[in-house]
Structure 1
């Protein structure tokens, strides 16, 4: 691997310990690792990028950083949406992208996976054996399992099947001093000691670095029927979600508002109704006749809430076309300008208030906020769009961004359902958690990382 000619003695020491092929020092190559999907202008310049191919390599890199008090920023595939893997100035950027192994154990129905493996690769490996790994982020084709664990990622299927933490049975974690601990294992039930495995899920690399995950697999997902409904307003669509949630649990319930529909149609025309105020995509994968019964109940709820049109299909390919439009929302909106990405969630009965409030915030600050949502579990993704070359537009967008998080907190919700706090949402965290919980969080951080070298500035 190409190296920058002016390598410091400190970095030369790292190279001697993990190998020249595992360390990037060329400034041009380092730039490829500085940002996550947010492209945050707060990203600093790493001292070097380490790309170890084994847990032992991770340990050696962490011990080197600890000895020199150099901050470490772990990175998976760089698809994060909250700035959590953006570099800090002078850090060691620790990329896990070379650690990609996947082993399927049929006897225990588990996948033993290194952190650089992509979500899609784990799904494909499981599918070869008639099994399924359910966590299903919209970015499943490009996001890594290590990043999914770091943020406790969810996705389109989580309304029925849960999020990443529900499938993590064990983790190997390198701590801030380079110690490797093995937590959990290929056991369904295990309450020996504190639940430390769960502590590291969602910790965004601030407590340790995951080098292996043991993931629970389940039988392949049954065929699903798809219901699509177009609504005159986003409020009407939200009321339908509340009505459905009171009677049954769909296997999927996704929402797109008018702005996100328009963005997707501009980006990749799919025949969506541009005149609709919102679209809901719901699925049932219940067995046999129960599937049709669930679809009928949901369709009635849609109509009661004011749907102007509904459509049902049992053709998997046809259903997937609608899901493709939902997955296309982020890249479609990205073409409209600079973005501030929200990830707020509320209790499902408060969803109409949240979506109405987001529209009011957009109008008040004169910014566009296309919104998509994993509506079935109350997790929304309002995307604040602004002109990055206009300082006033950016200021208005920032105020809208903060107000959306404040609105969610006021409705008993959260500032992040699945993307993590990262470096972009630290401000409102204390407002949600309160001083006692924040103090406890800092005690845990201090106990595991007393020098504060693990992903500083991320999470809390």
Structure 2
């Protein structure tokens, strides 16, 4: 494109957007737009955006989409950009639509146990607000202090509590969504039950902004449970820890948390946070219960861990010690990130019965490529996060990192798993989504995309 034509197109877009937006909500400053152009994923290209819009109302979002449709300009929706798959990355000439300023909690209803929020509300802010009323919003991604509810909905986020409480999808009752042509669609309900028509709400959860822009969400809440107590168990191998996970689940226990850190992750956490975790362990399993019978359930879990080969089982003595152990687990990704200049964080989920095969296979891949790969996992639901640590300035090491990442995803599929449990597909895993779904699955999903977004303007280049 001739630079003059590009400038004229940008000027035309700016004028059209400004007709329905306050000046402070819009910028075309290239330095500012570039700072919003990508999320936290490695190996994911980002284009050069034409404009950045930070709306405060649904009506402003509608204006953006009407303008984008009229001028045939792509739109990339964004939350806090804490994503790990390139799902919020800019495409050339797009409008970046950042929803972080739509951050109001509109209602908390203690009778219906619901919250109505805008998409820019930070997960931790909502969690604290409902806790003041004796309620809880269970989904708690590791980035919960930064990530937004809109982003959580876009990727179908999970967190540490998934083994008992499930993922974001289980808590989204209804949505207000701005469609590609600017119309406002209301899906779902505010009632406890409802099966009228197709379940469009579930369709939008995990769609990564490719079908519409969420501007309001009705979320289910639960009564706040008792404070959880945590147990830590050391194992001489990841396979032994995975055997303990299977034993806990087979015994009918329902932990509120069942998390695994391999030896590489444990040592990285100690190096970053001086947490005093056992350096010699090859796997550390954290189990928690939040019921009135938590001490008895922890004791039974400890017996099962010992039977599976644990070399030490240490129940936390109080809530403070429990919180310290959880802090160590939440530190896993930053700690691994500190080992090398860059990381690629995988998100492969396998059946719990194949968890040991997944961890042993990942270790073999790391050895084959001479790389540091640490694994932390939501072990209770089989969701592993192998973290490939590498130096992008070392061309050969970067090549080996990318190859190992792909081999880990292939391993997960071979074990009956999925390429993403909670991080989404974005740019990073487009090829792998096609492999997982197969030709018929891809055709059906692309038909759904076309029905909602016939011009292909919403988050192009993601998913497919």
How does the TM-score come out when normalised to structure 1? 0.97
Q: Which residue is 1:329 aligned to?
A: 332
Q: Which residue is 2:438 aligned to?
A: 434
Q: Which residue is 2:4 aligned to?
A: none
Unaligned runs of 5+ in 1: none
Q: Secondary structure at the match of 1:18?
A: coil
Structure 1 position 275 matched with structure 2 position 280: yes
Structure 1 position 189 matched with structure 2 position 178: no
| Cα deviation digits, residues 439-460 of structure 1 (max 9, x gap) | 1001100111111110011122
Of 431, 449, 459, the residue aligned with 2:453 is 449
Q: Which residue is 2:102 aligned to?
A: 99
Q: Secondary structure at the match of 1:424?
A: coil
Contact 1:40 1:86 (C-alpha < 8 Å) held by counterparts: no
Structure 1 position 257 matched with structure 2 position 262: yes
Contact 2:42 2:344 (C-alpha < 8 Å) held by counterparts: no
Q: Deviation at 1:6?
A: 11
Structure 1 position 385 matched with structure 2 position 393: no
Structure 1 position 12 matched with structure 2 position 15: yes
Contact 1:52 1:98 (C-alpha < 8 Å) held by counterparts: yes
Q: Which residue is 2:157 aligned to?
A: 153
Contact 2:225 2:291 (C-alpha < 8 Å) held by counterparts: no
Of 206, 225, 228, the residue aligned with 1:224 is 228
| Cα deviation digits, residues 183-227 of structure 1 (max 9, x gap) | 112111100000011000010001111000000111112122211
| Cα deviation digits, residues 304-340 of structure 1 (max 9, x gap) | 1111111012511110101111111111122222111
Contact 1:224 1:314 (C-alpha < 8 Å) held by counterparts: no
Q: Secondary structure at the match of 1:171?
A: strand
Q: Distance in 2 between matches of 1:63 and 1:249?
A: 48
How does the TM-score come out when normalised to structure 2? 0.96
Of 360, 364, 367, the residue aligned with 2:368 is 364
Contact 2:76 2:88 (C-alpha < 8 Å) held by counterparts: yes
Q: Distance in 2 between matches of 1:61 and 1:39?
A: 29
Shift in CA distance, 176/7, structure 1 to aligned 2, threshold 3 Å: closer
Q: Distance in 2 between matches of 1:221 and 1:169?
A: 21
Structure 1 position 90 matched with structure 2 position 93: yes
Contact 1:118 1:145 (C-alpha < 8 Å) held by counterparts: yes
- Matched residues, number: 455
Unaligned runs of 5+ in 2: 1-6
Q: Distance in 2 between matches of 1:246 and 1:406?
A: 27
Of 294, 299, 302, the residue aligned with 2:302 is 299
Q: Distance in 2 between matches of 1:293 and 1:7?
A: 65
State the superposition RMSD in angstroms: 1.4
Contact 2:347 2:385 (C-alpha < 8 Å) held by counterparts: yes
| Cα deviation digits, residues 129-159 of structure 1 (max 9, x gap) | 1110000111111100000000110100110
Q: Deviation at 1:41?
A: 5.1
Q: Distance in 2 between matches of 1:327 and 1:210?
A: 28
| Cα deviation digits, residues 406-435 of structure 1 (max 9, x gap) | 000010000000000111011111221111
Q: Secondary structure at the match of 1:146?
A: helix
Q: Distance in 2 between matches of 1:30 and 1:446?
A: 28
Q: Which residue is 1:141 aligned to?
A: 145
Shift in CA distance, 58/307, structure 1 to aligned 2, threshold 3 Å: same
Structure 1 position 169 matched with structure 2 position 173: yes
Q: Which residue is 1:416 aligned to?
A: 420
Of 320, 323, 348, the residue aligned with 1:320 is 323
Q: Deviation at 1:345?
A: 0.5
Contact 2:42 2:342 (C-alpha < 8 Å) held by counterparts: no
